[in-house]
Chains A and B, each alone.
Chain A
Amino acid sequence: MPRRVLTRTVRDSGRSFGGFAAYIVMIVAAIVSIYPSLGHNPSLTKLVQSYPGTLKAFIGFGGVVDYSTGIGYLGIELFSLMLPALLIAAGVMAAARAIAAEEEQQTLDLLLANPISRTRLLLEKAAALFVQLVLLAAVLFVALAVSTSLAGMDVTVAHLAAGAAAAALLALLFGMLALAVGAATGKRGLALAVAGGAAVAAYLANALCSLVGALAPLRQASPFYQYSVVDPLRHGLVFAHAAPLAVGALALVVVAAFAFNRRDLA
């Protein structure tokens, strides 16, 4: 059977994702364009070095705070927070809509009266989220590749692709969490709150636990840790850190399908 639900879902959220894509392009272009005037400034590097550890833990990326190179600049300004936050927002919002909004708007009854199983519906909605995030990551990658090349930054195209992929993978994980909560409860607001709250908590846990030695094991449970501990802009996508995010996303799809299959629709 053709993937009708997948294509319909991707098409219906085109406007929302188009908005996120445009925003990402603007942010990337703006941040990268001011690099030539900021990046090689030794006094700025010195200033940042003098920041307290707490602040550095928040703004740093890949374990370093480095304003003197293009890679370091991209990490601090874009990859430490801005880009993952945008991708997560796009993914979580779309995923919360996937099942829960259809249920709240009561279009789900009629949809599921068609010859399609709940599992299949859920898998196509999950696949739609994957496709949407891949498209968004592709836009991000192109924006990065074009703007860094215009600004003369010393970043390879492959590493930019790895960075975009890592951020999208992180967003996929939180998106699948929103999908699972939405599929299990039918409540869009709850799906948004749980997934959004988890993302904020994961970000804070990664930054704060890096400051306290005793909390280090807790830090490794944070998806943000797996995303950022090895800078993909320097080292590419590292399997050992990408795999937990991908496995987590898949596990959430399984949980979502299980919960969705077992309950009454509202």
Chain B
Amino acid sequence: MAGHPVVRAHSLSKSYGSQRGIERLDFTVESGEIFGLLGPNGAGKTTTIRLLLDLIRPTSGRVDLFGADPRSDPAVRRRIGYLPGDLRLYERLSGREQLNYFAGLRGLHGLGRAEELAARFDVELDRTLKTLSKGNRQKVGIVQAFMHDPELLILDEPTSGLDPLVQQTFHALLDETRAAGRTVLISSHVLPEVQRVADRVALLREGRLVLEDTVDALRSHAVARVEATLAEAAAPDAFAGLPGVRELERHGLMVVFAVQGEPDGLLKALATHRVTALESREADLEDVFLALYGKPS
């Protein structure tokens, strides 16, 4: 699976005065993998992606794309397909005119894979873009990102605005893309999506990389999700400070925990209360996320 590094962030920082940017990100995306950049809105996913594309410049640190600095070598972007999180197209052009424009800039003969992809996503290329729905514009955005069959795809929240059926088509396209040995960096705040498509994930929180691992390892990191229902409400700090245990939320008498490692400490603490129901299940990424963040994303 792992090949040579395609994307490399070296201690990448971006500060915006008082606003939070990102701080000292280090990560590598290897060729042939799908790398998920995960985090809630405002965590710095889009900032990271725009740094990779040289649309904004790092305060410190460095980016390598295919071993080159994207700033000194714009030609490297011929090997990249990009779908922005907040996609804006040339409203007065038709989809075909916009695709033609970009095909020319990328040195493509004709429209590359655009016709095939447009047919697959069922999007009309001859209509003026401003007459298309948000979902259909997003499809045009996907088509332009994939039309030149790039080696690296950088996709910022690619399925936003797509209905579930189209999301399936998109996921199938991602699977094919990986099978063809392409590399994908995909950002999302939707955990199941990343869990479904990515090989590895990096969790971003408040501009910092809090975790980077394979999806499998993350799941095994594991955290179990334990829901205990008590006969009487426990004191707010009743379960504070237990090693490996984080209280996530309370719904009335039910308390939800994320438990990492042995559940022994939690069980002993629960034993001092009358427990009317107890449920435990394997964690999905959502819980890993909650355990790390301590609050819902």
Which residues from chain A sit less than 8 Å from chain B, CB to CB?
1-2, 4-5, 8, 12, 105-107, 109-117, 120, 263-265
Name the one of A2, A4, A110, A264 contacting B82, with C-beta atoms under 8 angstroms.
A110
Contacts of A5 in B (CB 8 A): 105
Nearest 4 Cβ contacts at the A-B interface: A113-B82, A264-B56, A114-B105, A115-B78
Contacts of A106 in B (CB 8 A): 84, 86, 88
Segment from B69-77, B164-172, B217-225, B229-237 that makes contact with A: B69-77
CA gap between A54 and B56 in the complex, in Å: 51
CA gap between A110 and B75 in the complex, in Å: 15
A264 near B57 (CB under 8 angstroms)? yes
Nearest CB on A from B49, distance (A): 10
Name the one of B57, B75, B87 contacting A115, with C-beta atoms under 8 angstroms.
B75
Which residues from chain B sit less than 8 Å from chain A, CB to CB?
50, 53-57, 74-78, 80, 82, 84, 86-92, 101-102, 104-107, 141, 144
CA gap between A114 and B84 in the complex, in Å: 13
Contacts of B54 in A (CB 8 A): 112
Contacts of B74 in A (CB 8 A): 115-117, 120
A115 near B104 (CB under 8 angstroms)? no
A115-B75, A116-B74 as given contacts; A2 in contact with B104, CB under 8 Å: yes
Contacts of B89 in A (CB 8 A): 107, 110
A114 near B56 (CB under 8 angstroms)? no
Nearest CB on B from A206, distance (A): 38
CA gap between A114 and B74 in the complex, in Å: 8
A265 near B82 (CB under 8 angstroms)? no
CA gap between A233 and B141 in the complex, in Å: 53
A2-B104, A106-B86, A106-B88 as given contacts; A113 in contact with B77, CB under 8 Å: yes
Name the one of A8, A110, A263 contacting B88, with C-beta atoms under 8 angstroms.
A110
Number of A-B contacts (CB under 8 A): 65
Residue of A nearest to B50 (CB): A109
CA gap between A2 and B109 in the complex, in Å: 13
CA gap between A263 and B71 in the complex, in Å: 12
A110-B88, A117-B74 as given contacts; A265 in contact with B55, CB under 8 Å: yes
A115 near B77 (CB under 8 angstroms)? yes
A109-B84, A264-B55, A265-B55 as given contacts; A114 in contact with B90, CB under 8 Å: no
CA gap between A12 and B91 in the complex, in Å: 11
CA gap between A2 and B141 in the complex, in Å: 24
Contacts of B56 in A (CB 8 A): 264-265
CA gap between A4 and B91 in the complex, in Å: 18
11 contacts between A and B (CB under 8 A): A1-B105, A107-B90, A109-B50, A109-B55, A113-B55, A113-B77, A113-B80, A115-B78, A116-B105, A264-B57, A265-B50
Nearest CB on A from B9, distance (A): 17
Nearest CB on A from B177, distance (A): 17
Residue of A nearest to B93 (CB): A12
A110-B87, A264-B57 as given contacts; A115 in contact with B76, CB under 8 Å: yes
CA gap between A4 and B90 in the complex, in Å: 15
CA gap between A114 and B53 in the complex, in Å: 10
CA gap between A114 and B105 in the complex, in Å: 6
Residue of A nearest to B83 (CB): A110
Given contacts A1-B107, A107-B89, 15 further A-B pairs with CB under 8 A are A4-B101, A4-B105, A106-B86, A107-B88, A109-B53, A109-B55, A112-B55, A113-B77, A114-B77, A114-B105, A115-B74, A263-B57, A264-B56, A265-B50, A265-B56
Residue of A nearest to B79 (CB): A115
CA gap between A1 and B53 in the complex, in Å: 21
CA gap between A114 and B77 in the complex, in Å: 6
CA gap between A211 and B220 in the complex, in Å: 85
Contacts of B87 in A (CB 8 A): 110
CA gap between A10 and B50 in the complex, in Å: 28
Contacts of B90 in A (CB 8 A): 12, 107
Residue of B nearest to A3 (CB): B104
Residue of B nearest to A110 (CB): B84
Contacts of B107 in A (CB 8 A): 1, 115
Contacts of B91 in A (CB 8 A): 105
Nearest CB on B from A31, distance (A): 34
B92 near A12 (CB under 8 angstroms)? yes
A1-B107, A2-B104, A4-B101 as given contacts; A113 in contact with B53, CB under 8 Å: yes
A8-B101, A109-B55 as given contacts; A115 in contact with B82, CB under 8 Å: no
Nearest CB on B from A184, distance (A): 15
CA gap between A107 and B56 in the complex, in Å: 15
